Amino acid sequence: MLVARLAAAATLLSLAAGAVAQTTPAPAGTDPAAQASSPVTEANDEAARYAADRNALTGAVNSARQARYDADMADYRHQVQQRRRTIAQDQRRYDHQQRAYADAMQAWRVQVDACKRGHTRACKAPTPNPADFW
């Protein structure tokens, strides 16, 4: 629909421009009121209306495109920020898991050392579970 309007406006504008190009200036003593109703003036007015309509339509299309572009950029920034939050959450969780595993390994080493020194209770104890250090 929009393309058809633009094509029609361009066609009419080119026809009107041809009519304007064929005009000659009015003689010096011509009455302006008589000149206002001449076919040349009507063609000029029509061409001006079509040009104004085309400019308005082009401006509306460009405004709509700019609005869509701005919305796309805002959506992209939102997605980037959301991804960064997700990455930060994942990193905190990973750091927490590493700390729990390291703490469990430290407890296991203490347990093994106690077992090697002859504490049978430490030898019979279950291996530390990292989930217990969560």
pLDDT in tens, 52-92: 777 777 877 788 888 999 999 999 999 999 999 999 999 99
Query: CB burial class (10 A; 0-12, 13-18, 19+) of residue 50?
Result: buried
pLDDT in tens, 90-131: 999 999 999 999 999 999 999 999 999 999 999 999 999 999
Question: Per the structure block, which two tokens stand in for 47?
Answer: 């061409």
CA-derived radius of gyration, the chain: 41
127 HSE (CA, 13 A, CB side): 4
- At residue 1, the 3 state secondary structure works out as coil
Per-domain residue ranges of the chain:
2-20+39-133
